[in-house]
Chain A
Amino acid sequence: MLSKFIFLYCALVIVITGILAVRFRNPVHSVLAVLVLFFHMAGLYLLLNAEFLAAIQIIVYAGAILVLYLFVLFLVNIRQEIKTERFVANHNISKFISFLVFLILIAVTQSFRLGTPGKWTTDAIRQATHTKALGIEIFTSYILPFEIIALILLVAVVGGILLAKQDKQEVVMAQKEGSGSLTRGGKK
């Protein structure tokens, strides 16, 4: 009963903050909404018996990835969302289509059936502790995906460095303009 209540609370907050993150005009407010969302995701993971994932959700997502989002916000330097004309004037068609998709999703959820429980039941995970169970699964059954993660992270490092590479010419031009904003912050 109580677990159902906590689940519904977390799910409700996740949906609301998700909508708010899209709706807020100030991008920093959106990031704060996403922060609340991440914390409630961690609560859901705890309810699902996945305490390691809950901790990771807070450490990596709320800690590191949100910082990255904030850096991106500061890089693009928009104070407020730019107001433009609507791309599509007629909203009713899109509303109708999204309502149809909503109905289809409702219909599909009726056909969900629970699968048969596998090796890791709630009791088995509690006995082995979640982190250990996760470790055994990663390092025996999912070796290849694990090594692919390393490759994906490598791509992220190389891509990030290449994207953020400053051409020497651009730096000189920015300094000539007198803004000096490219190297600001480091010299403080």
Chain B
Amino acid sequence: MPGAFLPSEYLAILMLLLVGIAFGVITLWIGRYFRVQRPYFEKLVAYESGNPPTEAPRMRFSVKFYTIAILFIVFDVEAIFLYPWALVYDKLGMFALVEMFIFIILLLVGFIYAWKKGNLQWDK
């Protein structure tokens, strides 16, 4: 694999991942030998703020959540393109500004469409 290299700066993140996984696994594993385990029906019922659960957790959600998720992803991607743009802005100057304005205006059309259609409001 030519071109592959070890990003040594990210070794810290790898260590963090390993320590995090090890901490979770080891504490739960050691705890097994010390904790008392006496389950009965009330203990095993799903916890819902102290009330008895009214229905299965996999109920149908409102479709409005879906439109909000779509809008979130779109503007998430937009924000991500702003990041490399901000880094090269001082090199490209006006050119990059115009480019990004076209990009944002195109997305603004979608934003205004969602706004006018009432998708940013929960109860219309």
Contacts and interface: CB of A to CB of B under 8 A. Distances in A.
Interface in A83-111: none
B110 interface: yes
Contacts of B95: 139
B2 A56 contact: no
B72 A72 contact: no
Interface string A109-151: 0000010000000100000010110111011100100110111
Given A64-B72, A132-B88, A140-B92, A161 B107 contact: no
24 contacts: A47-B4, A48-B4, A49-B5, A52-B83, A56-B80, A60-B80, A68-B69, A68-B70, A74-B58, A74-B65, A77-B60, A122-B5, A136-B88, A139-B95, A147-B103, A149-B103, A150-B104, A153-B106, A157-B111, A160-B70, A161-B70, A164-B67, A184-B62, A185-B65
Given A64-B76, A114-B2, A161-B114, A75 B66 contact: yes
Interface in B96-112: 96, 99, 102-104, 106-107, 109-111
Given A153-B74, A157-B110, A184 B59 contact: yes
A169 interface: no
Contacts of A114: 2
A150 B66 contact: no
Given A52-B84, A139-B92, A164-B64, 17 more contacts: A3-B5, A6-B6, A49-B3, A60-B73, A60-B77, A68-B69, A71-B65, A75-B61, A77-B59, A139-B95, A149-B103, A153-B110, A156-B74, A157-B111, A161-B117, A181-B59, A184-B62
A135 B84 contact: yes
Interface string B38-60: 00000000000000000010111
Contacts, number: 169
Given A3-B6, A77-B58, A131 B119 contact: no
A22 interface: no
A86 B103 CA distance: 47
A139 B7 contact: no
Contacts of B72: 64, 67
B3 A147 contact: no
B122 interface: yes
Nearest to B91: A136
Interface string A56-73: 100110011101100110
A82 interface: no
Interface residues of A, number: 58
B70 A149 contact: no
B113 A157 contact: yes
A154 interface: yes
Among A56, A131, A139, A156, residue most surrounded by chain B Cβ atoms (within 10 Å): A139
A166 B63 contact: yes
